[in-house]
Structure 1
Amino acid sequence: MFDHDNDVVISSRIRLARNLSDIPFPSVMTESEADKVKELVKKAIFDSKTILSTQFSEYDMKKITPLERQSLVERHLISPDLAQNTKNGSALIKNDGTISIMINEEDHLRIQTIFNGLNLKEAWDLADKIDDLIEENLSYAFNEKLGYLTACPTNVGTGIRASVMVHLPALTITGQIGNILNSVSKIGIAVRGMYGEGTQSLGDIYQISNQVTLGQSEIEIIENLEGIVKQIINNERKAREDLYKRRKVQIEDRIGRAYGLLTNAKVMSTQEFMRLISDVRLGAVLNIINIDIQKIDEITTHIQPGNLQKIIGKQLEPYERDVKRAEYVSKLIRS
């Protein structure tokens, strides 16, 4: 059995939307109020008498480069919306990447925790601790009947968004993916691409998250999502098993070709890489190729445009980037 179902689940994330009680929502607050939010949240973390206070770094969107902002999005440490807020957006990120506190996004703050594999409850425990730490020093906008008040009505209540990033190649190859995603969307579950709302799936990777935040407790929301994800995991595993039994030669050929291109191509776009690495990841799970799944997931993050250019140390034109990507991927997979 794979550790924390990581043959299907890439990561688990908890995000809590919060607003301060005495400051207008970000869409209508003044610049001075936005600066006040930043200072209050920073003080709540950095002045806390916990070991965590020494483990965060601040990333001010107006002070870091566009490449650094893009890299943080690709690493799922900030949202695309926050990356665009170069006026007053900021983030406090724990050095190991497990915690990110986004400031002045759609809400005053969004507390995010992220873990590898299916680890929703562990992610929730950590997010809850950070939430309590901040609330010891700051007053949240809260209503006894409605719960936490948020800029978007869909987040009112618990303010929690639990999400799981899954890799579903066999369901995609067999054509079952449409029915499954359509079914879960009818029971209050949202399905999005790699970078959340408004993004498309790349490399058969999907984000599955709750839509309802009002009327259920955080634990109920998490357990409901986890139950649905486990059904999807079982469906994907069965599809993989059936696919390999019925089309063994074709699947081995497909995976072998993907591996061959990844290790020998001289030019490679992000889209082509994502398609090929999806097949190679499937091959690793089926023991057709001897390569560690965690290594594949790390490579997938590293070769995204922002991260790749950051690793190389300079901004590149698209074609130059595709050449460097092919070179870098080949080296990493062979190592």
Structure 2
Amino acid sequence: MKTLLDPQRSWYLENKVPHPCVLVTKWTALRNLEGWPFPTRCDAPALSELNERVSRVLFESFGDCEEKIDWLGSTPLVQSLADERLLTPGHGTRYPQAISWFWNKERFGLHWGGSDHLRLDFLSPGGEVTETFLEWRQWEERLAKSLGFAYRSGWGWVTADPAFAGAGLIPSVLLHLPASAASGLWEAMMKTVERRGFSLSPVWASERGESDFFWLRGSFSFGRSGDELAQTLGDLAEKITLGELEARRREQETRFVDVEDRVNRAWGLLTNARKLTWEETLPALSALRRAPEMVIMNKEVARNLDRLFFRLQGAQLRISFSEREGEEDRNRALTVRKMLLEGEDACLKD
């Protein structure tokens, strides 16, 4: 069993048709095992027994996992890599016995430890909300039969946070909204989102707090079914996408030269620079993803732009190229240049 996340295998490398706005769809479930108190009220022997039970059932049901991380014993580099790939289980890594298991190139993750016994994650590139929800639910039902999750009629899944009882589900998508961010439209979107029991918050922000990227995430699941949450997530993602595409259309009509200049400057930087910081790379990639048709780019390369948002972060580069911290800027420039001009991923080694 590996103890280090493989730099050449991850969920974001899956070959899917890119969505205009959604980079990632993520389903997270909070579950507790029947007959046990929450971990915060367990003594050390009980926690050890629970851990052994989960490990045994996982091995019997799924065989050996592709990846396993003991967070207490993991290096800062591995923890940074997990953060970059959206694999870190919330606050669970600070729990003394926190362990995570991953399958299917990290698309499926099961996390042990934290305020709830188990946290189940399913990650997928793109915005196929219905398809990914059905796939996640099949996996969750299989685990439920093997482990026996705590459930109460009229209440739902028992969780440490009552707000996430019921379905015990946190659905989310990572959105790319450059035109909405520039026009301030995303602030108006927040009100619509909040009325539906979701939140919209910026991520990957610059030092000035600006960002083109937002997490759309469920705020509570009590009193709501998984199907309802999936439907709401899909509806909101579609509505936000339509608003963003309309904002892009208006921007292109009224400020075409500015948009064209921004995209071509980004292309020039990414295909010519010999050293690139992440802070330089992110807005340039955002501009390119917003309108790739404005530059001469291979169609297959354009399809794979989304993976660069994860491939070019610091920990990934340090592991891929066996470099020390602080030496990744040259390899970042090399990787993005070869990808855009030659369609070759310099991080993937034979």
TM-score by length of 2: 0.83
Is 1:230 aligned with 2:243?
A: no
For the residue of structure 2 that corresponds to 1:62, the secondary structure is helix
Is 1:208 aligned with 2:219?
A: no
Question: Which residue of 2 is the match for residue 127 of structure 1?
Answer: 136
Question: Which residue of 1 is the match for residue 279 of structure 2?
Answer: 271
Q: CA deviation at 1:99?
A: 0.7
Q: CA deviation at 1:158?
A: 0.8
Instruction: Give 1:74's match in structure 2, choosing from 84, 87, 92.
Output: 84
CA shift digits 1:109-133 (9 cap, x unpaired):
1111122222222222222222222
Instruction: Give 2:55's match in structure 1, choosing from 38, 42, 63.
Output: 42
Question: Which residue of 1 is the match for residue 20 of structure 2?
Answer: 7
Instruction: Give 1:149's match in structure 2, choosing from 152, 158, 166.
Output: 158
Aligned residue identity for 1:64: S
Change (3 A) 1:177 1:193: closer
Is 1:331 aligned with 2:322?
A: no
Aligned residue identity for 1:102: H
Within 2, Cα distance between the matches of 1:293 and 1:104? 40
For the residue of structure 1 that corresponds to 2:291, the secondary structure is helix
Equivalent runs, 1:165-244 vs 2, <5 Å: 165-194=174-203, 203-244=211-252
For the residue of structure 1 that corresponds to 2:114, the secondary structure is coil
Query: Does the CA-based 8 Å contact 1:37-1:104 persist in structure 2?
Result: no
Within 2, Cα distance between the matches of 1:154 and 1:266? 49
Change (3 A) 1:26 1:91: same
State the identity %.
24
Query: Relative to structure 2, which stretch is displaced further, 174-183 or 297-306?
Result: 174-183
Query: Does the CA-based 8 Å contact 2:66-2:105 persist in structure 1?
Result: no
Instruction: Give 2:43's match in structure 1, choosing from 13, 30, 35.
Output: 30
For the residue of structure 2 that corresponds to 1:92, the secondary structure is strand
Q: Unaligned stretches of 5+ in structure 1?
A: none
Within 2, Cα distance between the matches of 1:158 and 1:287? 44
Equivalent runs, 1:249-328 vs 2, <5 Å: 249-284=257-292, 286-290=293-297, 292-317=301-326, 320-328=327-335
Within 2, Cα distance between the matches of 1:293 and 1:148? 42
Within 1, Cα distance between the matches of 2:116 and 2:247? 40
Aligned residue identity for 2:337: S
TM-score by length of 1: 0.87
Query: Does the CA-based 8 Å contact 1:203-1:278 persist in structure 2?
Result: no
CA shift digits 1:99-156 (9 cap, x unpaired):
1111113311111112222222222222222222222232322222221111122211
Query: Relative to structure 2, which stretch is displaced further, 26-35 or 148-157?
Result: 26-35
Question: Which residue of 1 is the match for residue 70 of structure 2?
Answer: 60
Query: Does the CA-based 8 Å contact 1:16-1:161 persist in structure 2?
Result: yes
Within 1, Cα distance between the matches of 2:87 and 2:209? 18
For the residue of structure 2 that corresponds to 1:137, the secondary structure is helix
Within 2, Cα distance between the matches of 1:75 and 1:135? 26
Aligned residue identity for 1:325: R
Change (3 A) 1:27 1:329: farther
Query: Does the CA-based 8 Å contact 1:190-1:208 persist in structure 2?
Result: yes
Within 2, Cα distance between the matches of 1:37 and 1:127? 24
RMSD of aligned alpha carbons: 2.4
